[in-house]
Amino acid sequence: MTSPPGVHRRTPLVLLFGQGVLGLVVGVVWWSLTRHPATWMVGEPVVTSTSVYPIARDGVFTVLTGLVGFAAALVVVTRGGEPHRPLLLFASALGGAFAGALIAAGLGTSLPPSGDAAVAHVTLRAWVAVLVQPFVVSVVVAVVTLVQALLEWTRTP
């Protein structure tokens, strides 16, 4: 089954702006999950202290943005072999991944504390976590492309 002709031209824009919109969703989900981290995020109740909250917040952010990056990489891999510009598709996926992660971090840190008991905002301590989403896009696309190239190479006589 073939796609309508305009779909392939819109894929880079969907990757670029779609990840930005998903950054809004990820920011709100990250904020809601890490306002009061659950024990499954920070460990047993006996060892839970406020000193491990930043690690849990950064970890949740990393997992959420990594999942979005993986989904974007799957779109690149499935659409990249078609006769449109694969480098444009990849570049828009990387740009969208970086923008989406920045939007998520900015929104999550700008939302207010959860109440009077919470004295601090949800913050991202390790800002390098913003690079996880584009890194996941790059690694997944590179690995899948390498495996496809190796399979083609071994099949040729």
Q: How many domains does the chain have?
A: 1
The verdict on residue 4 lying in a domain is no
DSSP state of 97: H
The verdict on residue 3 lying in a domain is no
pTM: 0.80
Convert the pLDDT of each residue in 109-150 to its tens digit.
888 876 655 545 677 778 889 999 999 999 999 999 899 889
The verdict on residue 59 lying in a domain is yes
Q: What share of the chain is helix, strand, coil (3-state, %, to 5)?
A: 75, 0, 25
The tokens describing 128, both together, are: 């390098």
The verdict on residue 85 lying in a domain is yes
Convert the pLDDT of each residue in 2-29 to its tens digit.
555 555 568 888 888 999 999 999 999 9
Q: Which residue range(s) make up the domain with 60?
A: 10-155
The verdict on residue 128 lying in a domain is yes
- Is 20 within 8 Å of 99 (Cβ atoms)? yes
- Is 68 within 8 Å of 102 (Cβ atoms)? no
The verdict on residue 102 lying in a domain is yes
